[in-house]
Structure 1
Amino acid sequence: MTLIEDAKKGKKPPEVETVARREGVDPDKLARLVARGRAVIPRNLRREIDPIGIGETLTTKVNLNLGSSRGLADPGAEVEKAVVAMEAGADTVMDLSTGGDIDEIRRRVLDAVAIPVGTVPIYQAEVAGDLTSQGLFDALVQQAKDGVDFVTVHVGVNLNSLERLKASHRIMGVVSRGGSLTLKYMSETGEDNPYYAEFDHLLDIAREHELTLSLGDGLRPGCIEDASDRAKYMEFIMLGELVDRARRAGVQAMVEGPGHVPADEIETSVKAMKYVTDGAPVYLLGPIVTDVAPGYDHITAAIGGVIAGMSGADFLCATTPSEHLDLPTKEDIFEGTVVTRIAAHACDLTKPGVRERARHWDRKMAVARRDLDWPAQFDLAINPAIARKIRHRRGVDVETCTMCDELCAIRLAKEAMDREEMKEEEKKRKKIETNKRTKEIEG
């Protein structure tokens, strides 16, 4: 029995109980959401991890992509990145390696972290020189056996959506690596995407290993000018149909989304994805809200991520400062993870069912700031280390921040309010004395 099937029978698997307790939600409600496919708990049967939930009524989660390239393939470096991402607060990591011994990299990453790990099997088929139907399924099975918890499969890139792509006027065409490899397969063989054509076989493999499917956005827009075109929406519709099939088979599924999208089109994209997939968890890269900020795309993606989360997105893929430029360093990984966690929390401050839990954190910070309680402020910070470093970098030890110093608004206002309170107390004291003398005279 899979998690979905257990939940449909009214059971509460241990993973559901654990996630519900951590999130502060009713386990019966969470079990119902898992049964309906509106929440997923990625966890391969072969692997012991600390489970996390993604979807309706749950906090917004953050993924961090890592992985080698053919020019830079150091297994130790990728493991270090995975550990750094986990320490920075990432909820999951994805190994997108395409260079070196990718089996070794994947297995070492799986051993190094206690959070869900995702992959893209088509990369392994390509690296192995076996971009065939059998090669694609062999890669999927191998990664499932290794213990991967979720996989991206670009099932929305098929002969049907290819026609929409041909009719489009895109500048960037296809920017998804998995999407482009799928197009390569179809153009070379004249056959449809095996993961789409043999989707039932894919579901059987996923079911056997309790593998969560992340239905990939192979036609996501790669620039602002390409956002919201017919090809993208064609893919959404297909993913919605395949989500239904996955749920009926007892397989957990989420859907991936764009891409580069201007801020005023993000809400429409997210709500359309939610509508055509009947509320499946939505997993987004960004969206990146402008094309002109290389070196700062962790920020452009965080801006889009907040808007997307307010519109219903459940899972944000961190973008690093290296996006579009280079393979990220461990420092880029840390920075991208933290910035995306900020975006995720900003989402949670607005989400029904999550808002009160999220705002409790901010209330505690507000009280610490009011009380000029610096240790508490550091402890409550998303990145305590950077908060402490900036606070103490000038070596000045004052009660307030060094920007305001003696003109600290909080302190000045508190002193003013204290004086007003003392005045009120003095008025009350004088009034009592006056009343007392009046009574003595009258008596």
Structure 2
Amino acid sequence: MSTAVENLGGQTPRGEKNLVTQLDYARAGQITPEMRAVAEAERRDPEFVRAGVAAGRIAIPANVRHLEKGLVPRGVGTGLSTKVNVNLGISGDVADASMEWEKVGTAEKYGADAIMDLSNSGKTRFFRQQLVERTPLMVGTVPMYDAIGYMEKPLVELTAEDLLATVRAHAEDGVDFLTIHCGINRRVIETFKETGRLMNIVSRGGSLLFGWMEVTGNENPFCEHYDEVLEICHEYDVTISLGDSCRPGCLFDANDAAETAEMIELGKLTKRAWDAGVQVMIEGPGHMAINEIAANVTMEKRLCHGAPYYVLGPLVTDVGVGYDHITAAIGGAISASAGADFLCNVTPAEHLCLPDAKDVLDGLIATRIAAHAADIAKGVPGAREADDRMGDARRRLAWGEMWDYALDPDTARARHEASPASTEGTCTMCGKMCAVRTVNKVFEGTTIDLDLE
């Protein structure tokens, strides 16, 4: 955990009265070591980061307990590089912890910024605690998934106190951001029922809360007791990721009345969280046609006051089953270039089964490509450098350097070496007719040998 912050006029010890979260310090005009670390990684001035955090445009999800265990701070928001999350966690049908740890290794090796533990079966706390202990990446969870197993009760018997206790357990364990579906209140449900949808509610957490509310007749506990949720988040500097219960699960439902009604509520909850000194991210779609994505991002930034936007894809078609890492990467690139800040990876197993480590790798690389392409379009400092170096390495046919600049050097090298070319320096696509080789020889004044026999 950090021990000091930088006041604009000197050093102030962390722990000053009422200053706990990154938002608290930023609003007090103080630059924390975490803000400075983000600024260095992003090639930004520390004051740029501090001002962004103070305004709510940037979040630094960094639970004070995870900082003690080696979290590397990362910033999410306007003016920063687009961040990428990897989902993992056991399910009731596939409870193989070793496979989940393999996914953790994949996330760390191939450049993820965050891991969300979506375990939803049995006692999940030990894995979550180990994850926080071991990984330097940001960790997120969804307490609603865990509540049934943690409290050992059926869904409809859970009380508001049970749900708040689950939130506290996750915060105490060092989770950096919590997805909590606070926006699906009675008003939103009334809009949902009145207007209808093709696929109803596809958010797992949102569906559980909808079911609980319908059976009990009560208001969403996370909405009704939002102040208590914020108190817990503030105590540990947990960033609240306001869940999109009504995110569209198909193109037909995108940007409909239910999604918009919930977004309006999330905007209200955002301001309340900031007033309580709690950092905020907003979760979004989902499935959405290409021509609707930019407008959706604009709507989120307007209704939620510029808070960082965290999107799942969006998937730009509903029929790419088995290839949804591609449909999501297309949507992610468009969404991030329009201003979204955080992309959740989607794997080829989406809609089909629990992904394995290879699925996670494929999804992660596709999502990183989307994020990187968007960062180039947004002019993020340094985003184009690797691409320009790759172009120079390709001109020189410097294969070893190409692997250094590739997002997945292992796959690139393996594919090239598996099909060795007979002409040194080329690949088996063009061989001696390699355009780069030919032009290089012209400029070198050497013989162009095109004898194909």
Worse-matched range after superposition: 229-238 or 108-117: 108-117
Give 2:365's match in structure 1, choosing from 332, 338, 341: 338
Give CA-to-partner distance per residue, 1:124-152, whole Å, 9 cap, x none.
Answer: 11333253211110100011111111100
Judge conservation of contact 2:420–2:428 (CA < 8 Å) in 1.
Answer: no
Shift of 1:80: 2.4
TM-score by structure 1 length?
0.92
Shift of 1:417: 4.5
Alignment-derived partner of residue 280 in structure 2: 253
Aligned AA for 2:426?
T
Tell me how far apart the structure 1 counterparts of residues 97 and 412 of structure 2 sit (CA, whole Å).
Answer: 32
Long gaps (5+) in structure 1: 421-443
Aligned AA for 2:81?
T
Alignment-derived partner of residue 49 in structure 2: 30
Residue 87 of structure 2 is aligned to residue 60 of structure 1 = no
Tell me how far apart the structure 2 counterparts of residues 110 and 295 of structure 1 sit (CA, whole Å).
Answer: 31
Alignment-derived partner of residue 10 in structure 2: none
Residue 434 of structure 2 is aligned to residue 415 of structure 1 = no
Give CA-to-partner distance per residue, 1:368-402, whole Å, 9 cap, x none.
Answer: 11111111101110000011011110233621222
Residue 214 of structure 2 is aligned to residue 187 of structure 1 = yes
Shift of 1:199: 1.0
Tell me how far apart the structure 2 counterparts of residues 232 and 219 of structure 1 sit (CA, whole Å).
Answer: 5
Tell me how far apart the structure 2 counterparts of residues 156 and 147 of structure 1 sit (CA, whole Å).
Answer: 24
Give CA-to-partner distance per residue, 1:79-121, whole Å, 9 cap, x none.
Answer: 2222221212110000111113211221222223111110000
| Structure 2 CA distance for partners of 1:108 and 1:75, relative to 1, 3 Å | farther
Residue 142 of structure 2 is aligned to residue 117 of structure 1 = no
Judge conservation of contact 2:66–2:133 (CA < 8 Å) in 1.
Answer: no
TM-score by structure 2 length?
0.90
Alignment-derived partner of residue 423 in structure 1: none
Aligned AA for 1:44?
N
Give 2:398's match in structure 1, choosing from 342, 359, 373: 373
Alignment-derived partner of residue 5 in structure 1: 24
Tell me how far apart the structure 1 counterparts of residues 261 and 368 of structure 2 sit (CA, whole Å).
Answer: 31
Give CA-to-partner distance per residue, 1:401-439, whole Å, 9 cap, x none.
Answer: 22111111112223345559xxxxxxxxxxxxxxxxxxx
Tell me how far apart the structure 2 counterparts of residues 9 and 145 of structure 1 sit (CA, whole Å).
Answer: 25
Tell me how far apart the structure 1 counterparts of residues 128 and 112 of structure 2 sit (CA, whole Å).
Answer: 17
Residue 431 of structure 2 is aligned to residue 402 of structure 1 = no
Alignment of 1:105-144 (within 5 A): 105-127=127-149, 128-129=152-153, 131-144=158-171
% identical aligned pairs: 45
The count of residues paired between Structure 1 and Structure 2 equals 418
Judge conservation of contact 1:79–1:105 (CA < 8 Å) in 2.
Answer: no
Judge conservation of contact 1:168–1:230 (CA < 8 Å) in 2.
Answer: yes
Residue 39 of structure 2 is aligned to residue 20 of structure 1 = yes
Larger Rg: 1
CA RMSD of aligned residues (A): 1.4
Whichever structure has more helix as a proportion of its residues is 1
Aligned AA for 2:399?
W
Aligned AA for 2:245?
G
Shift of 1:76: 2.8
Judge conservation of contact 1:73–1:100 (CA < 8 Å) in 2.
Answer: no
Residue 299 of structure 2 is aligned to residue 299 of structure 1 = no
Judge conservation of contact 2:119–2:145 (CA < 8 Å) in 1.
Answer: yes
Alignment-derived partner of residue 415 in structure 2: 390
SS at match of 1:358: coil
Judge conservation of contact 1:174–1:219 (CA < 8 Å) in 2.
Answer: yes
Alignment-derived partner of residue 242 in structure 2: 215
SS at match of 2:347: coil
